[in-house]
């Protein structure tokens, strides 16, 4: 009689042990692979967040500048003698400023009341339509024979309508109010070809919401609530801050007066949205990414 073929109990046990060992190795590799992929995705998202915040900060701050009201300009316009900056308030974790939202060239002025600045549509470039909460900055050439009395005047936007330049070209008429102490007669110094800038008051700051720290923005002029732009960032403490702004004057020394600021240094510290496994596979922790950059004001010479 021939013997029946098959596996012995010992062979089955050995085969199962080998299968379990191989399965355990494969499962471990899959888990480690998933952890590595998740960690890489978290780090990439963190780095993109920090770089996005840096781009917004440099883009907004790099467009602002400052101007001067000289004694001659003060006599012509009624403004006090001063150096005025687009920076309105500065703090280590927040900055308020005049943000450019449009620019163009004047083709005429209707003295009113109310006065209206005519801007040739072919020269107008804007992110959006003018609002009644905006401010129009117009360059005034008081005496063409000298530059000592030239200055930018700040005018409140009252209304906007379609119009035409004296030569017939399509224009946008922005009706404006001349706030005190500006002499309304100074508007006659806004001549054809003068540049104008549409601005609004903006705030960028570091803040906490939902137990996390973020970089956000809001329009102060429009009364908007803060909106997150990037994050999460590192929580604020005595030694660590997710966003820190350092203000420098023309000599590259720390500046506390906004009108003296000529450059802004930006330090960002982002964190992963959740803990990830790094060098120690048995312990998950929040990773971080630091980025620093520097912005010089639009019309400021570098120190």
Neighbours of 246 (CB within 10 A): 15
Look at phi and psi of residue 148 and say left if phi exceeds 0, alpha if psi is from -120 to 50, else beta.
alpha
Give the pLDDT of residue 241.
Answer: 78
- pLDDT-derived band of residue 72, with 50, 70 and 90 as boundaries? confident
If one compares 110 and 35, the residue with the highest pLDDT of the two is 110
Q: Name the percent of the chain lying above pLDDT 70.
A: 84
Give the pLDDT of residue 239.
Answer: 58
User: Token pair for residue 104?
Assistant: 């163009």
Give the pLDDT of residue 302.
Answer: 44
Give the pLDDT of residue 223.
Answer: 93
If one compares 207 and 189, the residue with the highest pLDDT of the two is 207
What is the tens place of the pLDDT at every residue in 262-274?
999 999 998 887 7
User: Token pair for residue 74?
Assistant: 């003060």
**Among the ranges given (109-123, 184-198, 215-229, 234-248), the one the predictor scored with the smallest mean pLDDT:** 234-248
User: Token pair for residue 173?
Assistant: 């008429």
Residue 230 and residue 52 in contact, taking contact as beta carbons nearer than 8 Å = yes
Distance, first Cα to last Cα, the chain: 103
Measure the CA–CA gap between 231 and 241, rounded to whole angstroms: 13
Q: What share of the chain is helix, strand, coil (3-state, %, to 5)?
A: 25, 40, 35
- What mean pLDDT is predicted for residues 236-258? 84
- What mean pLDDT is predicted for residues 223-242? 81
Residue 301 exposure: Cα atoms within 13 Å on the Cβ side: 3
Ranked by mean pLDDT, the top range of 78-82, 118-122, 143-147, 295-299 is 118-122
Measure the CA–CA gap between 171 and 189, rounded to whole angstroms: 19
Give the pLDDT of residue 34.
Answer: 64
Above 90 in pLDDT, residue 79?
A: no
**Among the ranges given (10-24, 60-74, 236-250), the one the predictor scored with the smallest mean pLDDT:** 10-24
Above 50 in pLDDT, residue 303?
A: no
Closest by CA to 95, choosing from 130, 68, 123, 60, is 60
Query: Residues, the chain, total?
Result: 303
């Amino acid at each position: 009689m021939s013997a029946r073929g098959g596996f012995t109990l010992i062979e089955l046990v050995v085969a199962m042990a080998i299968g379990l060992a191989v399965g355990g190795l494969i499962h471990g590799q899959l888990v480690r692979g998933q952890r590595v992929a998740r960690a890489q995705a978290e780090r990439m998202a963190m780095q993109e967040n920090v770089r996005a915040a840096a781009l917004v900060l440099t883009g907004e701050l790099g467009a602002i500048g400052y101007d001067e009201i000289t004694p001659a300009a003060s006599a012509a316009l009624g403004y006090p003698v001063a150096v005025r900056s687009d920076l309105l308030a500065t703090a280590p974790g927040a900055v308020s400023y005049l943000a450019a939202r449009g620019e163009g060239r004047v083709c005429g002025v209707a003295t009113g009341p109310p006065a209206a600045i005519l801007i040739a549509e072919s020269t107008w470039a804007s992110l959006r339509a003018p609002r009644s909460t905006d401010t129009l900055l117009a360059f005034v050439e008081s005496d063409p024979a000298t530059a000592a009395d030239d200055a930018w005047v700040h005018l409140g936007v009252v209304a906007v309508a379609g119009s035409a330049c004296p030569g017939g070209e399509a224009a946008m008429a922005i009706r404006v109010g001349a706030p005190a102490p500006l002499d309304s007669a100074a508007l006659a110094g806004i001549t054809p070809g003068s540049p104008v800038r549409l601005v609004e008051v903006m705030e960028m700051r570091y803040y906490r919401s939902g137990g996390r720290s973020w970089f956000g923005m809001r329009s102060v002029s429009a009364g908007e609530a803060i909106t997150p732009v990037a994050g999460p960032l590192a929580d604020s403490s005595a030694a660590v801050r997710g966003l820190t702004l350092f203000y420098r004057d023309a000599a590259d020394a720390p500046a506390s007066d906004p009108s003296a600021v000529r450059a802004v240094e930006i330090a960002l510290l982002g964190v992963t949205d959740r803990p990830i496994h790094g060098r120690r596979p048995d312990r998950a922790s929040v990773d971080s990414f630091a980025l620093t950059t520097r912005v010089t004001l639009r019309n400021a010479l570098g120190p």
